[in-house]
Amino acid sequence: MLVGDIMSSPVVVVQPEDSLARVRNLMLRNRISRVVVTRDERPIGVVTKADIARCMAEISKRIKSLDEVSVCEVMTSPVIVIGVRDSIRDAAKEMLSHGISGLPVVDSLGYLVGIVTKTDITRYYAENCSSIYKVSELMEVEVPTVQRGHTIYRVIDVLQTSSVDRVVVVDGKSPVGIITHTDISFIDFPLRKERKFIRVARKITEDYVEITRFYYLPTAEEVMSSPVITIARESDAKEAASLMLEHEIGGLPVVDRAGSLVGIILKSGFIKALSTEKCWRGSS
């Protein structure tokens, strides 16, 4: 199986001069997590939802709107590419070694012909890799978590300091929701001067009432996707891959028999799996 057999095509592309607002709209309209930046039909960069989320985290510090931020300011460049006739295992190795979840696919002349993403890798795993790995072997054990009442800025801080691209909202030890870069990227944050606030009156004496101004910020509970889909640590990893594809999600909290959070399995776990010899034994 070659990269050309599983890649997605055509590719949503933008130019370096386009605005980040245009990129966000394209992602939303096409339900994708990255766009390829091209010049003369050759890939020169990539912009992901994580890049947009980082910009959104700075919204209170900057005066520019997303319409005023250009693609060339935030894109990752130079871009790592894969050949259309390279193997799927080669693609998985490239993604793993560079810590990325998508590779533009080029022909022998360097022209963009497609893109292979962690979703394509996950689909291949779900269709071809039964009873090879258990969920517990591919899951991440360090799970970023927040409580229901944490503000969205707390969520952003946790996302920025974690290698995992999503945060699990917990109630005690049980997962109750998920917040991803997608959720953060498509929130319309107001500038600091425009934030809504709540006036709270507190009676100090009979003649004096103190008015306190509290700025309103969305909480994790208001932003999270819920109810959350989980998977048991003993399950076949193929089941996890199939659930992610069925529900169009990028990760599943992993629970023990008591329903307590013990890890998270991501599409990147299948990249790791397909980079190993274990998945290809017996393949021609």
Structural domain contains residue 210: no
Q: What is the dihedral of CA 113, 21, 65, 144, to 10 degrees?
A: -80
Residue of 6, 206, 207, 257 lying closest to 123 (CA atoms): 6
- CATH number for the domain including 17? 3.10.580.10
Residues 28 and 143 in one domain: no
Number of domains into which the chain is organized: 2
Q: What is the pLDDT of residue 236?
A: 98
From 128, 158, 176, give the residue that closes a domain.
128
What residues make up the domain containing 111? 3-128
Q: Is residue 262 part of a domain?
A: yes
In a domain, 194, yes or no: no
Residue 196 inside a domain? The answer is: no
Same domain, 74 and 161: no
Query: Do the domain assignments include residue 114?
Result: yes
Asked if 106 and 139 sit in the same domain, the reply is no
User: What's the predicted TM-score (pTM) here?
Assistant: 0.79
Q: Is residue 61 one of the residues assigned to a domain? A: yes
Residues 110, 171 within the same domain: no
105 plus 162 within the same structural domain: no
Whether residue 25 is found in the same domain as residue 147? no
Q: Do both 116 and 165 map to the same domain?
A: no
Asked if 153 and 238 sit in the same domain, the reply is: yes
In a shared domain, residues 141 and 79: no
Do the domain assignments include residue 92? Answer: yes
Tens of pLDDT along the chain (284 residues) come to: 899 999 999 999 999 999 999 999 999 899 888 999 999 999 999 999 888 877 766 654 555 677 888 999 999 999 999 999 999 999 999 999 999 989 999 999 999 999 999 999 999 999 999 999 999 999 999 999 999 989 888 898 898 888 888 999 999 999 999 999 878 766 655 444 444 555 556 666 777 766 665 556 778 998 899 999 999 999 999 999 999 999 999 999 999 999 999 999 999 999 999 999 998 875 54
Shared domain for 8 and 27, answered yes or no, is yes
Is 281 domain-assigned? no
Residue recorded with tokens 């497609």: 114
* Residue 140 and residue 260 in one domain: yes
